[in-house]
Homo-oligomer: A and B are copies of this chain.
Amino acid sequence: MTVADLQPAGDAYRPPTDVAARDIMDLAFGLIRVLDDEGMAHGPWIPNLSRDTLVEILGTMFTTRAYDARMMKAQRQGKTSFSMRSRGEEAIGATTAKVMGPDDMCFPTYRQASYLIGRGQDPLVMMNQVYGNAADLNRGTQISGMYTAADLGFFSISGNLATQMPQAVGWAMAAKAKGEPTAALGFVGDGSTAEGDMHAALTFASTYRPPVILAIVNNQYAISTDEEVARGSAQTFAQRGIGYGLPSLRVDGNDVLAIHSATSWARDRALDGHGPTVIEFVTYRASAHSSSDDPTRYRPEDEFDEFPLGDPIKRLRLHLQHLGYTNDQANELDTTIRVMIEAKNDEAEAIGTINTGERPPLSKTFELVYETMPAHLVRQQKQAGLQ
C-alpha cells in the first residue's frame, strides 16, 4: 500500500475546464481532496451540492455496503458461487453516478455496484443476477456480479479485464461523430491498467479527443499484488495520462466531494469539446478480492484502519453532521436500508438461487448467441432435449 504525496484537503488548485493538459501536469502527482479529517470542506474543488444530494449518495453507499455483505453471506451459504464486494470504495460509483447524465454511458468493472445502485437499480434485480435465477436480466449467462443495465447507462460488465476502456473511447467517438452532448465514463482497476487495452484507450482518446473520462480506481491491490506491481517506477497512475498529453487528475477516492467535483470538471470539459480526462481515484479495497480470495495471506488484517484516506462512509457522515444531518438520522437511514436489503433478498431467494428454485432455461444459452438462431444451434438445441 502506497499513497504518495498526501496533499492536505483544499490544497490543490482547480484549473478552468479548457486548460491545456501540459499546464496541469502537477495535478497528476498530487491529490485533490476537499474533506479534511474532521469532515470540513476546503478549497476550490468544493462542489455545489445540496445536503439532499449528499444524503442520497450516503444512502447509495449504505445500500451498496449492506448489499455486498448480504451477497457475501449468500455465497458462504452456498446460494451463489461467487461474490465480489467494493467495501471501502463505494464513494466512487455512488458519487460519479450522480454526476453523469441520463444519456451518458458508464463502462464499469465488477467493482462499481455502487454506480448501478446510484443510478437507481433495484437491488432485487441485482440479486437475481447474483443468484442466476429465472428473473436474472442476464439470463444466467454471467457469473455473479457481472450486471448489465442499458437503460441506466451501465454497460455490460466483462470478465476480461480492461477491455471496456477502449470500448468507452469508441462509444465517445460515436457520441462526438453524432454531435450528441453525452460522455462516456470508463472504470479500470489499478492492476488492470497493465493490459494493452488501457494503452489502446489512452492512445485513441489522445488521438480523437472524444468526450470520455478514463477513471483508474487505485484500491491498492490487484488480487494479491500491491498496486506497485502495475505502477512500477511511476509515482502515480494518473501520471500515465501525461504520457498521452491528456489532463490527468489524482483524486481522493474516499472523499465524496472531491470525487463529485473532479468528475464534474472532466464531464464539463468533455461536453465542451475539450476532450478526455484521466482520473486516478485513490481508495482501498477493504474486503478480499473476491469470495475465492484470502487476503490474510498477503496483507495485515488491520491495514484498512491505517489507510490514510479512511472510510468514505464515515467521512461523509462526519461532513453531513456539519450540515446538520445527525448521526442518528444516518443510523436510521442505514437501518432502513439493511431491512430493505433483507426483504429484497428474501424475494430474490424465493425466485431462486444457484441451487434452488427456478433458473433461466437452457434455451437461453442457445437463443442469445445470435440475433436469429442458425441451423446448427437449432440442431444442438434439439440434441439438448429442447423443443
Query: Could you list which residues of chain A lie within 8 angstroms of chain B, going by C-beta atoms?
Result: 21-22, 194-200, 203, 205-209, 228-235, 239-246, 275
Task: Give chain B nearest CB distance to A214 CB in angstroms.
Answer: 13
Assess the B235–A206 pair: CB atoms within 8 A: no
How near does chain B come to A228, taking the closest CB pair, in angstroms? 8
The answer to whether A275 touches B203, judged by C-beta atoms less than 8 angstroms apart, is: no
Give this chain's copy count: 2
A194 contacts across to B, CB distance below 8 A: 199-200, 203
**Inter-subunit contact A245/B241 (CB<8 Å):** no
* Contact between chains at B230 and A245 (CB < 8 Å): no
Given known contacts A199-B198, A203-B232, A206-B232, A239 and B240 CB-to-CB distance under 8 angstroms: no
A199 and B192 alpha carbons, distance in the complex (Å): 12
Give Cα A195–Cα B244 distance, bound, in whole angstroms: 14
What separation, in Å, do the CA atoms of A208 and B235 have in the docked complex?
15
Asked if residues B196 and A22 are in contact (CB atoms below 8 Å), the reply is no
* Nearest CB in chain B to that of A203: its residue: B194
With A209-B233, A239-B245 known, 19 other A-B pairs at CB within 8 A are: A22-B235, A194-B200, A195-B196, A198-B199, A206-B233, A206-B234, A207-B230, A207-B232, A208-B232, A209-B232, A233-B275, A234-B243, A234-B244, A235-B245, A239-B242, A240-B244, A242-B242, A242-B243, A243-B243
Q: How far is the CA of A235 from the CA of B239 in the complex (A)?
A: 15
How far is B209's CA from A229's CA once the two chains are assembled, in angstroms? 12
Those 3 A-B pairs whose CB atoms lie nearest each other, nearest first? A196-B196, A243-B243, A206-B232
Least CB distance from A162 to B in Å reads 10
In the complex, chain B residues whose CB is within 8 Å of the CB of A199: 194, 196, 198-199
Q: How far is the CB of A191 from chain B (nearest CB, A)?
A: 11
A196 to B198, CA, bound (A): 8
* Nearest opposing residue in chain B for A22, CB measure: B235
